[in-house]
Amino acid sequence: MSKRKNDKSWFDSLLIWREKHIRERYFILMLSFVTGIATAIAALILKEIIHLIQHFLTGHAMISGMNFLFLIYPAAGILLAGLLVKYIVRDDISHGVTKILYAISQRKSRIKLHNIWSSLTASSITIGFGGSVGAEAPIVLTGSAIGSNLGRMFKMEHKTLMLMVGCGAAGAIAGIFKAPVAGLLFTIEVLMLDLTATSVLPLLTASITAATVTFILTGTEAMFKFQQTESFAMTRIPYVLGLGIACGLISLYFTHVSIWIEKIFRKLGTFWKKFFLGAIILSILIFLFPALYGEGYNIIGGLLTNNYDSLLYGSPLKNLGSSAFGLIIFFIIIILIKVFATSATNGGGGCGGIFAPSLYLGSIVGFTFSYAFGMAGIHLPVENFALMGMAGMMSAIMHAPLTAVFLIAELTGGFDLFLPLMIVTLSAYITILTFDRYSLYSSRLAQKGKLLTHHKDRAVLTLLNINEVIEKDFLSVNLNNNLGEVVNTITKSNRNVFPVTDDSNILRGIVLIDDIRNIMFRPELYERFKVKQFMVSPPAKISVTMKMEKIMQTFDDTKAWNLPVIDEQGHYLGFVSKSKIFNAYREILVENFSEDE
């Protein structure tokens, strides 16, 4: 006990010394530097564990022929990961990026300590055993947990904690992909953190540090080997635009099918029902199409060098590849069923993200697009279009065109294709934006009204909680009261509005002092008039489940300053006033969006 007390006293002394000798902005840079190192190491550990598991399981497998182990491995992986989460972690760790968005949207910026190891462990098991997902979303959650908990250890305030969450995410992306610029842009576009003068440097520090550590430990080569065999010709711009539109439409299919499958798994309820459905779908798909096994980075590498044989290896349907038309059909089938394999992996108990699936799909879409035109006699370099397809698909699925451009360029070293990369990402983004306002990550929160956005007015309203602004000091009167009882209530209140409720506390109307001023001082009328005779309907009623944007719109439409709040059954809860909302608005604006001096 005394040792623990001494340790605490020592750390408290360190905190006091730091506050006296190190300015806040410099200390934040130091924390972001440490976060960058830690996230890079975590990313390397995750990749190494995945590779070790895959090598152990498939090193002896004859992937070029039908292998029935592919019916067992993926199911075993999601089972082990699911049991780990259910009985050891005992917390939901799926949809890592969505969890970070939710934490930021709720002004918590506190990622649980177990996320440092739990998502890393569960995703390495899932992917190592063949789950058709990516490791990037779990490592982003791990990185954000590192940043958040490091900030909490040193008693950082909320705004700094939010920044540290962003630093962890930026470091994770930069470390796992060797892409420092993409790491920075990811926090802006996907996590939707606003940049200020004080936040740019910590994010950059974490990204550059993480990428540098990875370069030192693994070498400076790009993650994928890509060599541009043909320079980009301006005459191919229409085809690049067409590829972007195709990526946008396929991402629309991917997003909506993912959400649909998620709903099916949620309705199943129990862990074992989810596992059996997910295992059946995933195992059958991987047995028929072994190219769906794991992250699929070997497939991407093959397509970037004009080698599609790895897509056919081990598949009972590989004979389709014996003809050019059959090969196109095979590619299209892979494109259509990838979403089922990914969603079944996560829905069945596995842990993984959509980073790798979006890159995987993009490379196949770009390759197929150019291959099909080649069949029609129009030559398009398949390697270049596979690369551009990766950028287009990521841009559309994640609604992150800048991240997609720089990530693909940094991943492959394809900086010579910067112009077509920008064209394809922009056309893909505009296409998906025509149909879907939100990305797959943020749509889950947007449906619940809990999504933080770059629009500051909307962001502040999102952060406001209706329960925090309800005023409950309005004295109510009963529907059956007479005027005398109402006057007695008025003498006890400093308000001029009185809600009218029945015996079940259902809101029936309101009484305004101005409406009864001419009779309230005439005692001879106290027994004569009942509440029903002089109460009025409120201009509008605010439901406790209503979004804050809708509430403000209601105030604007009614020109009211006070409106009653009811629950879903119509029970009276209190009043909400415009002035109260404005005061809360200003507090949140100063706390979360003001720039440090």
Residues 6+ apart with CB under 8 A from 312: 291, 318, 320, 321, 330
For domain 234-448, give the fold: Clc chloride channel (1.10.3080)
Cα(492)–Cα(293) distance, integer angstroms = 72
Beta bridge partners of 512: 497
- Domains 18-218 and 234-448 alike in fold: yes
- Among 593, 448, 592, 447, CA closest to 107: 592
Q: How is residue 591 written in tokens?
A: 């706390």
Handedness of CA 369, 371, 376, 379 (dihedral sign): positive
Radius of gyration of the chain (CA): 29
Which amino acid, residue 227? Q
What DSSP state is assigned to residue 518?
A: T
Residues 6+ apart with CB under 8 A from 44: 175, 214, 217, 218
Parse the chain into domains and list their residue ranges.
18-218, 234-448, 460-593
Residue 4: what pLDDT?
53
Superfamily of domain covering 460-593: CBS-domain (3.10.580.10)
pTM of the model: 0.76
Residue 596: what pLDDT?
41
CA angle 214, 216, 220 (to 5 degrees): 80
Residue 589: what pLDDT?
53
Per residue of the chain (597 residues), what is the pLDDT tens digit?
445 555 557 767 777 777 777 788 888 899 999 999 999 999 999 999 999 998 888 766 544 444 778 889 999 999 999 999 888 988 777 666 777 776 665 555 678 888 889 989 999 999 999 999 988 888 989 999 999 889 888 877 777 888 888 899 999 999 999 899 999 888 888 776 666 666 789 999 999 999 999 999 998 888 887 777 777 888 899 999 999 999 999 999 999 999 899 889 989 988 999 999 999 999 999 999 999 998 888 899 889 888 888 788 878 888 887 788 889 999 999 999 999 999 999 999 888 888 899 999 999 999 999 999 999 889 899 999 999 999 999 999 988 899 999 999 888 887 888 899 999 999 999 999 999 877 777 666 555 555 554 444 455 445 556 777 788 888 899 988 999 999 998 888 888 889 999 988 999 999 988 888 888 888 888 888 888 888 888 888 888 888 777 787 888 788 788 889 998 888 999 888 877 777 766 665 555 544 443
Alpha helices in 59-195 (DSSP H): 73-83, 96-105, 118-128, 136-153, 158-177, 180-189
Q: What is the CB neighbour count within 10 angstroms for residue 457? A: 12
Residues 6+ apart with CB under 8 A from 558: 539, 540
- Among 232, 183, 189, 226, CA closest to 35: 183
- In this structure, CATH architecture of domain 18-218: Orthogonal Bundle (1.10)
Residue 597: what pLDDT?
35
